[in-house]
Amino acid sequence: MQLGTRVAGGGTPRPHTWGVDSEYGRLHDVLVGPIDNYTWQPESNAVAARSQRIGLAFDRKAALTQYAEMIRAYEEAGVTVHRLPAEPGLPYQLFARDSSVMTPWGAIIMQLAKPFRRGEYAGCLRFYLERGIPLYDLVTAGNIEGGDFMVLEPGVAVCGYSGDRSVEPAVREVKGWFEAEGWEFMTYAFDPFLLHLDCQMSMLAPGLAAVCVEAVEDELVRWLRARRIRIIEVSYREAVVEMGCNLMALGAERVLIPASARSLIAACRAEGLTVYDPDVSMIADGGGSIHCMCQPLRRDSARA
């Protein structure tokens, strides 16, 4: 029995209910990770290690309050929130972006790099199977995490890799699937301390992206501009330290941005975007913010 729906050679049918073909189509359903077992893991990433080094302390009550604030923001925006059941021994299961990604043809189950995160795939896989959400395929060529992957716009996807959380053979495997479906698939190498691609850039709206130009390589900036995507520049500190690029486009000219990204919030409002800005700083100091916690399940198609 084939677990995934992917048709070898391309031509995979699109499900009627679930799927995304952009980072910015109107969001209807989102999968959010559970905060029940969340604690900072300084050995996991540079952000959490910095938090420990400068003497910050994890405050569970504050994290729970901030998580609830983010959930309320989704609900106020009319988004249906689905939650992964919490499982013991998975302190970063909160970051539901990484264990799977949604595509136009269903979900891909990813492989996580850190040993203490590898079990996250199981609850994620059960979620899709129990709810009848189609699976496109499962990555087998090595570790690759959803924070590095974006269905950027109709017909175009991008996936970064640092050789740490995502490795080139796994990225190439997914690239081959998308190219067989007739999509452009950009691959982009970067340094491991930058964690994931979504810590460096995110789409805000059609033709508009937030990018830490100080952190990314010139090739990525040139590629975005060649696609006529305008860039709002985010400072190095706001993006890398405060995770300001780690946001979620809600569609219909609305975005969900961490409250700490004050300059980006002001720039988005100047563009005429409606901004929801929950404070998620206690969560972000462990190495993941809004985009990390949430996997879009259903968006309106952005195809013309």
Q: What are the tens digits of pLDDT across the range 47-85?
A: 999 999 999 999 999 999 999 999 999 999 999 999 999
Pick the CATH number of 27-297 from 3.40.50.300, 3.40.710.10, 3.30.465.10, 3.75.10.10: 3.75.10.10
Strand order in the sheet with 230-233: 201-205, 208-211, 230-233
Structure confidence at residue 230 as a pLDDT band (50, 70, 90): very high
116 has pLDDT over 90: yes
| Residue in 142, 143, 175, 176 with CA at minimum distance from that of residue 159 | 175
Residues 6+ apart with CB under 8 A from 203: 22, 23, 24, 150, 152, 153, 209, 210, 229, 249
Average of per-residue pLDDT across 166-178: 98
Sign of CA dihedral 19, 25, 29, 30: positive
Burial of 266 (0-12, 13-18, 19+ CB in 10 A): exposed
pLDDT at 262: 97
189 has pLDDT over 50: yes
| Residue in 295, 287, 248 with CA at minimum distance from that of residue 127 | 295
Average model confidence (pLDDT) for the chain?
97
43 has pLDDT over 60: yes
44 has pLDDT over 60: yes
Average of per-residue pLDDT across 205-220: 97
Structure confidence at residue 152 as a pLDDT band (50, 70, 90): very high
DSSP 3: S
Average of per-residue pLDDT across 205-218: 97
pLDDT at 233: 98
| Spatial distance between the Cα atoms of 226 and 220, rounded to a whole number of angstroms | 10
| Spatial distance between the Cα atoms of 57 and 61, rounded to a whole number of angstroms | 12
pLDDT at 188: 96
pLDDT at 304: 63
pLDDT at 236: 96
1 has pLDDT over 60: no
Strands (DSSP E) contained in the chain are 27-32, 80-83, 100-103, 106-109, 135-138, 149-153, 156-161, 184-189, 201-205, 208-211, 230-233, 248-249, 254-256, 274-276, 294-299
Whether residue 83 contacts residue 30, with contact meaning beta carbons closer than 8 Å, is answered with no
pLDDT at 2: 65
What share of the chain has pLDDT > 70, as a percent? 99
pLDDT at 303: 87
What pTM, to 2 d.p., does this model score? 0.96
pLDDT at 235: 97
**Residues 258-279: pLDDT tens digits?**
999 999 999 999 999 999 999 9
Average of per-residue pLDDT across 204-221: 97
Average of per-residue pLDDT across 170-177: 98
